[in-house]
Structures are given as structure tokens and as C-alpha cells.
Structure 1
Amino acid sequence: MKELNFIDLFSGAGGLSEGFINAGFKPIAHVEIDKKACETLETRLVYHKLNSENNLQNYYDYISGKISRIDLLKDFSSPEISASVINIAIGGNNNKIIFETIDKLAKGKEIDLIIGGPPCQAYSLVGRSRDKNRMKNDPRNFLYKEYAKFLKKYEPKVFVFENVMGLITAKNGSYFKNMRAYFKRIGYELDFTIQKSEEFGVLQKRRRIILIGWKKGSDFKYPVFDKIKEEFNTSQIFSDLKKLKPGEQNNVTKYANKTTVYLERFELRNGVDFVTQHIARPHNERDLNIYKIAIKKWLEKTERLKYPDLPTKLKTHKNEKAFVDRFKVVDINGLSHTMVAHIAKDGHHYIYPDTKQVRSISVREAARIQSFPDDYYFEGGRTAAYRQIGNAVPPLMAKEIAFQIKKQL
């Protein structure tokens, strides 16, 4: 059976790519503007190389701090892996450089798929609400045309375009309408659905548009995805991790408790006896006092803390109408709310649900909410890791999308 390959555009930390690799696809190239995300991608590609060689101990030595990243790349990477992570902005004259690099990597092979989703800030409801021009002049609105240039050049059998729900309503729906018309004009049939990540085993309420296109004349059909019927909650991804204090840095630590049904079922805790990046950010006294109130209110009454309800001494501004719900506790008995990149700026929206651990969630806890396995290592430090995780496509969701596409191809 022919090995199917793909190009990943706007790759981020590789959540979408991880799903496609786990479903049996081979990446030809990843294109991403964020340098730290590119380092994460390269590290993960080394993981997959060593995994295929039954030589993962060297990768574990790296993520546990026994060898340096320089040694990991020098001894276990390859020129092809390094070249395949293209750290450059898509668009303009850069496309020529990207095309030339991909052509060398493809070595004359046809490209089977193109996957990816342009940055969503220009389409998101939050992004539009914070911009005085409602993001009308944001150049990211038209990155789909850059995406289309890759479709025109490589003519893949199928493409996958993932994005936020706000894409449907941006500029009264005209962006999304024009986008679909543009893709059809260059030779693709397409359809889209709105998918719930929890139906793929991801423990958060996350709604995303999954637009899939296929070459006109092919017998491909928009796939039907298998949905997870079991119900899990976030306690299943928190209970085995060591308790943390604000600011505590557990870059490498042993698991504190036995594994859970969820972690086994979806292979998040995947074979080693340690976990990395269980790192908590520090908090000032005011924030900790607010977190205590928010946690108590949520655990006792299942109610969210609103800014106007805070004691006067804890308030720092007089605006009590905008963004009043910025302090939010993760639901220990249900699903997390949507993980977003803002977690890199502060932890107010992702407070750990325990009065004995007053803090925001750790990097590893955020990664698990997004369904990244524990051996997925995010480069660049705590802030960069949070940003990469918040921007990612959950790998569990990506794997099912990839699997159903593969069945047809």
C-alpha cells in the first residue's frame, strides 16, 4: 500500500500533524513562523524517527535532561528532518523559498494532502471584539489565498482546513463564503462540519470548523467520524500528577499516583515512569486571593466568579461590564472550557480546581487538556509552551480526521 504523505501549513507545535503521523501519514514539510514552535516540531520529528528505529531511550534521555538538545539533534536527527521544518512566514516572496525547499524534500513524489489552519485571531469573536476595526483590515483574513497557492502548485488529492467558529460569521459570513468559492474555483469540491472535540476523546469543550476539500472528479466524500461514547472528566488527567505550589518547577518528576482509565485508553501516559514540564507559573498575593474565591464558588455552588462580585480591595479597575468572567476554574467533574493561547499571558482563565493547590494549571496539565501525550515536549520555556499548546489542534481529534481520510484514499 502506498505511503501517503502531507504538507502542514501554519503548523504551530504540530497537533494536527501528530494526528496524521499517528494515523500513518508521512510528513514532507512543516511551515511555521514561530521559531520556538519550529523547535518543538523538530524535536517531535526526532521522536518519531527514534520510535521507528525502536530507539526511544535516547529521546527519553533528552526530555529527562540527561543529554542536551545539541547532542540530540547532532546524534539522532537528520539533515532531512532539519530541512523539513521551514521557519518562515507564508506569503509574498517567501513562497518561492518554501516551494523550492518542499520540491527538494518531495524528490518528485506527488503530494497527497495539505493540512493546516491559518492563524485564527482575525476570525475569532474575541479577536474582533478587542479590535476597534473588528479585524477588517487584518491581513490574516486573506491567508486562505496563500493556502490556496499551495493547493494550486501541488494539487493534493485532499486538503484539510481547520479554524475557529468565528470564521463563519466574520464580516457577516462573506469571508467564509468567498473562501469556499475560491477553493472551488481552483478545482476542489468541499464541505465542512462543526466538530466538538470532546466527541474525539478530548477533555474540553472546543468547537472547530473542519473544512475538507477534494479534487473535482474524484469519488472522495466528506468523511463520517467515529465518535467516542464513553464519558470522562478532567479528574482523569489531573489525579496522577504531583501536587504543585505556585511557581513550582517540576521539569522532570515521577508520577504521584497510578494511571487512569482515560490516560490508558488514549495513551497520554505512554510508557515511561516520569513526566516532564509539570511547571506552575508564580502568582502574586492578590491573584491567589481571587483564585481562592473563584475555586470555592465553583466547587461549592458550580458558579463562576464575576469581576463585580470581588471584594473592593481586590479590584484594580472600575470597568465592571467588559470581560467580567476572566477568572475561570477548570471543571474537575466535567470538561475543561476551550484552551486558547491567552494562557501564555496569565493563568486567570485556567485555575486549578482545588483549594489545596491554589494556582493556575501547569504546562503538562494544559497539554493533557489538549490531548498531547506526556512524551510530547514543548521547546522554548513556560510561556512559549503555553502559547503553543493554546494554539494547537488536539492530536486525538486530528488522528480520527486523518484515519477516516486515509480509509478513503
Structure 2
Amino acid sequence: MGEQLPVVSLFSGAGGLDLAVERADADPLSAADPGSGLLKVSVATDYNEPALDTLRANFDGATTVSGDIREVPTEQILATAGLRASEPVLVVGGPPCTPFSKSGFWLEQKRESRDPNASLLDEYVRVVRESRPEAFVLENVQGLTYTTHRAQFERLLKALGELGYNPQWKVLLAADYGVPQLRRRVFVVGRRDGEKFEFPDQTHSGWSERDRKIDTTKLPHVTAGEAFADLPTVLRVSEDEIVAGQYGELAAEVPPGQNYLWHTDRYGGRNHFEWRSRYWTFLLRLDPNRPSTTLQAQPGPWVGPFHWENVRATDGVERARRLRAAEMLRLMSFPDDFKIAGNRADVQRQLGNAVPLELGKAVIRALMVQLGYITEQSESRFAVG
């Protein structure tokens, strides 16, 4: 292995983009292939100590900086990694997406884009400006591109453009890159030399809530059933997996792929809810023949997606169940041996905020090819067909 290229990771969280960096040239959907080690995360930053614990548990010799990025100087970040300005090959990161997520729209200040955490975008720009990497990759929820947040998004692009990086952005669907999840994320990518970044072509195709056209020259979307196929059978049901409470019975009666609308006067369940009176994810069950919907970080007690199979609670009654850690790792295309401390909810919180590994790999790999660090010949092994 030659000298590894240094990468600075901001807002690292559970390490989805960090994994993508260090496995950028690994075979797609291969947990056994860690890649060549071309890139190395030299320093990872986050304000959440449990997230940094996850990073340390999964990245050998990880160097971390803990603290509010607004109070952490760029010089400290670089010094921790043993780097100077212009030495990082990449700066990567996804500023916390809560201000721009649909799940926060019930709060007036979020609807009006007045969330103070939105300033974290400016901190990302500050680190890029002061560290001068060869390129950067910023990831966020699709909501950042909505009209509600248009002023902030355009300010971000303008600031990065003024640095000479010619930022390009695109909303990508994770399922189009082999992730068994219909998760949309916006990526903003820029190069210090001002050359235009070209986003990678999708490798998979299938219908989603917005696109019913299928490209038959691509591989089909990976389904949840395929993702879970070889997971070991768990005989004992954990109490925190069971969907109980006020809507427990109703959840257990919802068929695979359906949600609370099953229990309206238009479908075959109980006539319990008004049509379109809840969010789509309310009582949502996975369809084993399709990719999962977006895995949420902090869902309410009756917010899915739940597994398509019921389980029997201790009282013998059938109940829907929440996804297990091993299943959530598969839906994020993370390695099976990825370690996250805590209970099932802790795992979901960290993974729900993370970048799906295969989606991140596709973007990082395309960038490294265009920068000349990966040859077109080595890239050809990722071609479909």
C-alpha cells in the first residue's frame, strides 16, 4: 500500500461518509472488500460523543475532535491530523439535517428556515476556505433544496463558488446505487481547480414514488427481502422491538407495503383513520419485494417502516415489530460487523442520520476518478452488464 491520501471529516456521525472514503474503490455491495486504502480519514469531528465512540470502535487508530464546530478552529482540526492548509485531499461531511428535514416541518421556525443550526452550513464553508482541500463533498437531506430553504442553499453555493470550487449539486436516490432503501440525499461537490464535477451514473433502476420508469439496462433495485435473506433467525423477541400501545393492534393488521391508509374506508382494514390524515410513514410496513423507505433517525412509536412479519408478544398476541440492528445495517449497506454501542433505538438514531455506504462510495469514487487518483481501467470493474 502506498502513501494514503488524507481526508478531513466534519459532522462525522456514525461514519457513513468516512466508510465511503476508506472503501471508495472497493467492489460494490461487497462487505468483504475493504478497498485499497487509497484514502484515509485523518481526523473526524463531531459534537456527539457516542457518535465518536462509534467511529473509534470501527476505524482503527481514528483521530477525533469532539466539540461544537462553531467553537473549534480549523487550525485545531488540521493540527490534530498533522496537516497544514492545502494538504487535505478531501473535506467531507453532512451538517446536521434537522433544520431542512420534512420531519421538522411542524415547528414554525423550521418551516420558515429560521433554525439556528442552519449556520452549520457556514461552518462547513469556513473549514473549506481555511483548509483548502483539493475537493470537498457535502451531503444533506433533499429538503435543503426546497423553496423554503432556497436562500440558505443559494448562499451556500455562492460562498463555495467564491472560493473557486465551482460547486455542483444533485439529489441522488440511494436505491439507484445498490442501497436497499428509497432514500434521497443532496450532494454538493466541488474541486479546487474549478473543473466541473460529473455525478456518477446510476447502476440500478426501479420504480419509486416519483418515477415509474425502469431502465432495463441497469440492475434492478435491491429489495428489503434480498437484503435480509441470509440474516440469522432470531428466536427471542426483544421487548423494544414490539409495536404496542394505542395502535399496536392496527399496526399488526397492516399488510406488507401498506400503512395507516389500510385502516381507512378506501381499503380492507378497519375504518379508523381519515384519508391522508397522517404522515406516509405512520404504521408503515416494509414490502419484501421493494427497497425500504427512508430509515428515520428518531421515529415516533408508531412510525415505520416496520418489518413485514409479525411476532408474538409475551401475552401471545401478534404484534408488528421494529427493525433489528442487523437489518438496519443492511438497509444502509453498512458492513454486518459495524459496531454501534447502545440499544436498538441508539442504533437507529445513528444510522438514520448516516450516509448509506454504497451511495457515498459512488460519489467519492467518481470524484477520485475525475481527480486522477483512480484510473478509468480500475473503475471499469464497477460497470454494469
Give the TM bin, normalised by the shorter chain.
Answer: 0.7 to 0.9
- TM-superposed CA distance for 1:394, in Å, is 0.3
Deviations 1:141-168 (A, max 9, x none): 2211100110111101100111111111
What per-residue deviation string (whole Å, max 9, x for no partner) do you get for residues 231-277 of structure 1?
2311112232344478528xxxxxxxxxxxxxxxxxxxxxxxxxxxx
1:284 is displaced (CA, Å) by 2.7
User: Is residue 121 from structure 1 mapped to residue 122 from structure 2 by the alignment?
Assistant: no
Determine the C-alpha separation between the residues in 1 that align with 2:184 and 2:234. Answer: 30
- Can you give the 5+ residue segments of structure 2 that lack an aligned partner in the other structure? 25-37, 205-217, 313-319, 372-385
Does 2:316 correspond to 1:336? no
Query: SS of the residue aligned with 1:20?
Result: helix
Classify the secondary structure of the residue corresponding to 1:211.
strand
- Per the TM alignment, residue 373 of structure 1 is displaced from its structure 2 partner at its CA by 1.0
Q: 1:362 to 1:347 in 2, by over 3 A?
A: farther
Give the equivalent residue in structure 2 for 1:63. Answer: none
Which residue is 1:33 aligned to?
47
- Report whether the alignment pairs 1:95 with 2:72: yes
AA paired with 1:233? T
Distance in 2 (CA, whole Å) between partners of 1:101 and 1:381 is 31
Question: Aligned match of 1:85 in 35, 51, 64?
Answer: 64
1:146-203 CA distances to partner (integer Å, 9 max, x unpaired)?
A: 0011011110110011111111115362211111111112232111111111111100
The structural deviation recorded for 1:134 is: 1.6
Aligned to 2:27: none
Q: Residues of 2 paired with 1:329 and 1:383: CA distance?
A: 18
**Residue 327 of structure 1 aligns with which residue?**
283
Matched with 1:350 is 305
| Whole-Å separation in 2 of the counterparts to 1:281 and 1:37 | 22
Counterpart AA for 2:144: L
Matched residue, 2:162: 185
Contact 1:247 1:283 in 2 (8 A): no
Change (3 A) 1:389 1:197: same
SS state at 1:27 partner: strand
1:56-95 aligned at under 5 Å gives the runs 78=61, 81=62, 84-91=63-70, 94-95=71-72
CA distance in 2 between partners of 1:354 and 1:223 (Å): 38
Q: Please name the residue that 1:6 is paired with.
A: 7
> Scaled by the length of structure 1, what TM-score is found?
0.73
Which residue of 1 is the match for residue 231 of structure 2? 241
Q: How does 1:370-389 map to 2 (within 5 A)?
A: 370-389=332-351
Q: 2: distance between equivalents of 1:227 and 1:133?
A: 35
Aligned-partner Cα distance in 2 for 1:243–1:347: 24
The Cα shift of 1:393 comes to 0.2
**Corresponding residue number in structure 2 for 1:290:** 250
Paired AA for residue 4 in structure 1: L
* Shift, 1:285, TM fit: 5.6
Structure number having the greater helix percentage = 1
Partner AA of 2:341 in structure 1: E
1:365 corresponds to which residue? Answer: 327
Q: TM-score, normalised by structure 2?
A: 0.78
Q: What is the alpha-carbon distance in structure 1 between the residues aligned to residue 134 and residue 247 of structure 2? A: 51
Gaps of 5+ in 1: 47-77, 250-279
- Is 1:159–1:214's contact at 8 Å kept on the other side of the alignment? yes
Q: Displacement, 1:381?
A: 2.8
Residues 372, 135 of structure 1: alpha-carbon distance in 2 compared, 3 angstrom cutoff: farther
CA contact (8 A) 1:8 1:29 kept: yes
2:303, 2:241 → 1: CA distance?
11
Q: Distance in 2 between matches of 1:120 and 1:10?
A: 10
- CA-based RMSD of the aligned residues comes to 2.7
| Secondary structure of the corresponding residue to residue 91 of structure 2 | strand
